[in-house]
A and B are shown apart, each in its own frame.
Chain A
Amino acid sequence: MSDPGAVGGSVTYQRLVHKNSSGFHYMKVSLVFEKEGKRIDGAFFKQLIISALRNVYGEIGAAFPFDVLKFEEKSLTAVLRVYNSGLVKLWSALTLLGSYQNETCAVRVVQVLLPYQYTGGP
């Protein structure tokens, strides 16, 4: 997280430590099916993540909020927003997710962003 700034022709580097004050993390994930052509909508996608969380962490462990901000049905990519405290749990549950309606699938985490890096585009 260094920020280059040109001062008087010579380039100096300034070290910036950014504390994540908003408390959120944004994850860009994509859902990959073994067979092509499977369709799923946003609500089912969220349900899929919730059931994966419940399998791994149970009813108490999975009780933390997260949002699906965007879901593209064409490319099966989504942007998730989660509190910092739930990031590890959500990520591990996504990794361990293995099937949807008896079809083998996987979730690939494309990118994890801090709030100021997230500009709204998928």
Chain B
Amino acid sequence: MVRFKSRYLLCEVCVSNPSDLRLLDERAVFFAVKAAVSRAHGDYGTALIGMCFSVKYLNAHTGVVFLRCRKSHYRMLWSALPFISSLESRGQRVPCFFNCLHVGGTIRTCQKFLIRYNTQQLHRLLPRCRSDKERSEVRKAVLSCSLKVFRNDEEEDDEDWGGEEVAE
């Protein structure tokens, strides 16, 4: 079988004020990325990216974004991402930058990476806890997260997006 191959870019939208993340929506990300590609790669790049570019998933709590693009031209999208300095949504301008965490061939590998990444982040957070209550909560989160990975491998479940909820 022949199919159109894609690349999925797993990015993190970094903003200075965490409450600004609630303003994000897929349209804002879509147009910001498209404008960046247009500036960096001109009409040629915009046309190549426009064939198959879409924002697959956006988590407004953690700022995680999945971008999908044709495999043959994903480098153009990739190289344009660092030039995004702000997103415009609901009439407001949110200064931000895109941190590309992972580039994968399927959503599934990206999801696996994201769960692993979030677990790592929790492990990093654990020593920084100040009170016992915080510590126990992070511990609980780590445990529930690792349980999810275990279950994922058994069930081959593609729709389980539990990885991000843990990081909230």
Bound complex: CA of A55 vs CA of B43, how far in Å?
Answer: 7
Interface residue? A59 (CB, 8 A): yes
B41 / chain A contacts, CB cutoff of 8 Å: 57-58, 60-61
On chain A, the number of residues with a Cβ less than 8 Å from chain B's Cβ atoms is 9
Minimal Cβ-Cβ distance residue in A for B37: A58
Closest A residue, CB atoms, query B43: A56
Task: Please give the distance in Å from B85's CB to the nearest CB on chain A.
Answer: 14
Q: Across the interface, do B44 and A58 meet the contact criterion of CB distance under 8 Å? A: yes
Q: For chain A residues 41-86, which have a beta carbon within 8 Å of chain B?
A: 54-62
Q: Is B99 an interface residue (CB 8 A)?
A: no
In B36-52, the 8 Å CB interface with A consists of 37-45
A99 to chain B, nearest CB (A): 15
Which of A54, A58, A60 lies at the interface centre, i.e. has the most chain B CB atoms within 10 A of its CB? A58
Give the number of residue pairs across the A-B interface with Cβ within 8 Å. Answer: 32
Using Cβ atoms and an 8 Å threshold, which residues of chain A touch B146? none
Closest to A89 in B: B44
Give chain A's interface secondary structure class. helix
B79 interface residue, CB < 8 Å from A?
yes
Set of chain A residues within 8 Å of B80, measured between Cβ atoms: 60
**B37, B39, B40, B42 interface centre (most CB from chain A within 10 Å):** B42
> What's the nearest-Cβ distance from chain B to residue A40, in Å?
23
- Rounded to whole angstroms, the CA-CA distance of A54 and B39 in the bound complex is 9
Q: How far is the CA of A3 from the CA of B45 in the complex (A)?
A: 43
Q: Do the beta carbons of A56 and B40 come within 8 Å of each other?
A: no
Which of A55, A59, A60: most chain B CB closer than 10 A? A60
- Which chain B residues lie closer than 8 Å to A59 at the CB level? 39-40, 42
Chain B 44-82 interface mask (CB, 8 Å, partner A; 1/0): 110000000000000000000000000000000001100
Task: Flag if B45 contacts A61 (CB, 8 Å).
Answer: yes
Point out the residues of chain B lying under 8 angstroms from A60, CB to CB.
40-41, 79-80
How far does the alpha carbon of A62 sit from the alpha carbon of B80 in the complex, in Å? 14
Determine the distance from Cα of A62 to Cα of B42 in the docked complex, in whole angstroms. 9
Q: Measured between alpha carbons, how far is A62 from B45 in the docked complex, in Å?
A: 11
Instruction: Give the interface of A toward B (CB within 8 A).
Output: 54-62
Can you pick out 28 interface pairs between chain A and chain B where the beta carbons lie within 8 Å of each other?
Answer: A54-B42, A55-B42, A55-B43, A56-B42, A56-B44, A57-B41, A57-B42, A57-B44, A57-B45, A58-B38, A58-B39, A58-B40, A58-B41, A58-B42, A58-B44, A58-B45, A59-B39, A59-B40, A59-B42, A60-B40, A60-B79, A60-B80, A61-B40, A61-B41, A61-B42, A61-B44, A61-B45, A62-B42
User: 5 tightest CB-CB pairs across the interface, nearest first?
Assistant: A58-B42, A58-B41, A57-B42, A60-B40, A58-B40
